[in-house]
Structure 1
Amino acid sequence: MEFLEWKMFWEGRVIRSDLESAFDISTPQASVDLRRYREIAPNNMEQTARGYRPAAKFMPHFLKPSADRLLLQLRAFLSGVIPRKDIWFKDIPNVAIAPDIARDIPADCMRLILQVMRDREAIEIRYQSLTSSRRRMIAPHALAHDGFRWHVRAWCCENLEFRDFVLSRMDEFGSTSSVEYDSADDAAWHTRVVLRLRPHRGLSAQQRNAIEKDFGMTEGRRNVEVPACLAYYLIRRLNLDLPTTIQLTPERLQIELENLDEIHEQINQAKIHTKLLIAKRFPQIDPASMSR
């Protein structure tokens, strides 16, 4: 039923053979399905010489039309994430994407991380940071995407604190073991902060109107809520912490963060709260000795 409405909404027509090829069913079964849909939604479909088209007062019952979802599916298809059969277009529209710079995350890596998350255990990994490559014991409790890369949010057994580890920098997985920690202590993960975005004040009125429409702003503002530990990445990715320069003009920056100082303070308070919770669970740890 959803497929029928998808074809009518996005392509303006559906025929019996569409059902036959999409679901590998017989012609009689396709006819039954079409008849059943017309019984459920008698005012949605009009028969023509070339099949069926949406009626003037077409109102989807099974489909929730979403341009974002449609474009995400096209992007996933072009990126090789989903197969052609999962795209319901009879003919794929002429479309291209600027390719992502893919990070290679082996399936075995992902499988092990998910396993230790389920079992609430720690796992030994070899991790390549920007300064060194060495073995660590970490206990992942969440997955996070910063807009470019996938991380695990994890308890670092060596430093006794919560940190972000980039999945594509992990290899040579070792043994697993039980570990004493509680993800509830990761206040920087559980604290939500709200970034208040607005068009850059250096833009003209016409340019601000374009940015408001582009970013779906209401009354010149767009609030974006994220975990405190991810706010840093979003601010960096959107250049919200950079002043205007000859290279970074208002036209290039487009938007700015109305409450940058407030967000920095909230991130700092979440880190402090995390340290205090950890120190309460591990009295031997001096919060002042923990890294920022």
Structure 2
Amino acid sequence: MMKNQKRPWTQNQRFEFIEWKLFWEGHLNRKDLETQFDISTPQASVDLKRYRELADGNIEYDGTEKSFVPSSKLVPNFLKPSADRLLLQLRALLSSALSRRDLWFRSLPAVDMVPDLVRHVDPECLRKVLQALRTRSAVDVEYQSLTNSRWRRIAPHALAFDGHRWHLRAWACDREDFRDFVLSRIDSIGELHEVEYDPEDDVAWNRKVLLQLCPHPGLTPEQRLAIQRDYDMSEGQRDIELRLSMAYYFIKRMNLDLPDLPAARVQLCIANLAEVDAAIERAKKDGAERIAMRLRSVTGQHPLGQP
């Protein structure tokens, strides 16, 4: 059993590294510690000795391989093994979002991926957007929609990723409602301005819904079992909670809005789709009512000058 005592964060990180190497690669030597953390040979020896004192049989020395190996009773104490995290790190490495040094493999496994079509975002644009978020200000942007390019004044209050693109969730000053703006479609960005709006009025962002995912009914029993395993379903269902404003993007990304596609292509369906659609419509209505009430209290008029 691991003794409960405080240790320096740097030493805990090295102990995590030891367990990572044992768990994922199955071997470790002193040189691994020296190279990864730029420490001396004596310090690496101290770390290994101390870990062996604390770990109660997690690690053994293999004289043939001349390296430390995990025992059959390995129970990580400093590492929380996560396949999802490791695969995400490999993906980040391939997309250059993570450096090779940050991945603790001595030698990488053969790995590749279908390339992401990266949508360019100018760093100065993102910098100004983050400033607007921090100060709850509006900012002028030259925005390229699918139909035209024009200057608009928006007040972003959140960032959102739909699986392919980054969006700004923002108060559209000209329309007096909350909308999504694709970050990569901002061609130019201007100055910040004071603005009166309340992110709490964005009901579709603040309210969440539970999507009940299940295998498509058109699949065979064997196919349904495979899909249940793919998505780690319990009793044939996987519940996904997400913001109502993000539900549209999730449904579209998973092809759940294309009923004519073959079942084997779609694979999933939403058991409570009618409930989700109703929740989205209710959020739109509630949000519009909140905005109208707020604007009446400020100006004495309905939004957009309506009587």
TM-score range (shorter-chain normalised) is: over 0.9
Q: Is the 8 A contact 1:275 1:287 kept in 2?
A: no
**SS where residue 242 of structure 1 aligns?**
coil
Bigger drift between 280-289 and 104-113 goes to 280-289
The corresponding residue for 2:17 is: 3
Q: Is the 8 A contact 1:125 1:171 kept in 2?
A: yes
The corresponding residue for 2:283 is: 270
Does structure 1 residue 92 correspond to structure 2 residue 108?
yes
Alignment counterpart, residue 214 of structure 2, candidates 198, 203, 210: 198
Q: Distance in 2 between matches of 1:243 and 1:173?
A: 40
Q: Is the 8 A contact 2:144 2:185 kept in 1?
A: yes
Q: 1:56 to 1:149 in 2, by over 3 A?
A: same
Q: Distance in 1 between matches of 2:103 and 2:91?
A: 11
The corresponding residue for 2:166 is: 150
The alpha carbon displacement at 1:215 in A equals 1.0
Q: Is the 8 A contact 1:276 1:287 kept in 2?
A: no
Q: Please report the RMSD computed on the Cα atoms of aligned residues, expressed in angstroms.
A: 1.3
Q: Is the 8 A contact 1:117 1:141 kept in 2?
A: yes
**SS where residue 30 of structure 1 aligns?**
helix
Structure-to-structure mapping, 1:81-120, within 5 angstroms? 81-120=97-136
Q: 1:288 to 1:232 in 2, by over 3 A?
A: farther
**SS where residue 196 of structure 2 aligns?**
coil
Matching residue's letter, 1:255: L
The alpha carbon displacement at 1:288 in A equals 11
Matching residue's letter, 1:27: T
Q: Distance in 1 between matches of 2:305 and 2:193?
A: 28
> Scaled by the length of structure 1, what TM-score is found?
0.95
Does structure 1 residue 211 correspond to structure 2 residue 231?
no
5+ residue gaps, structure 2: 1-14
The corresponding residue for 2:180 is: 164
Q: Distance in 1 between matches of 2:187 and 2:50?
A: 53
**Structure 1 ranges of 4+ moved more than 3 A:** 286-289
5+ residue gaps, structure 1: none
Q: Distance in 1 between matches of 2:293 and 2:52?
A: 64
Q: Distance in 1 between matches of 2:122 and 2:50?
A: 45
Q: Distance in 2 between matches of 1:77 and 1:143?
A: 23
Q: Distance in 2 between matches of 1:57 and 1:148?
A: 42
Q: Distance in 2 between matches of 1:287 and 1:209?
A: 53
Q: Distance in 2 between matches of 1:261 and 1:131?
A: 31
Q: Distance in 2 between matches of 1:280 and 1:219?
A: 45
Q: Is the 8 A contact 2:176 2:304 kept in 1?
A: no
Q: Distance in 1 between matches of 2:285 and 2:220?
A: 41
Matching residue's letter, 1:243: P
Alignment counterpart, residue 223 of structure 1, candidates 230, 234, 239: 239
The corresponding residue for 1:188 is: 204
The alpha carbon displacement at 1:159 in A equals 0.9
The alpha carbon displacement at 1:243 in A equals 1.6
Q: 1:126 to 1:203 in 2, by over 3 A?
A: same
Q: Is the 8 A contact 1:241 1:260 kept in 2?
A: no
Q: Is the 8 A contact 1:195 1:223 kept in 2?
A: yes
The corresponding residue for 2:10 is: none
**SS where residue 189 of structure 2 aligns?**
coil
Does structure 1 residue 15 correspond to structure 2 residue 29?
yes
Alignment counterpart, residue 24 of structure 1, candidates 38, 53, 56: 38
> Scaled by the length of structure 2, what TM-score is found?
0.91
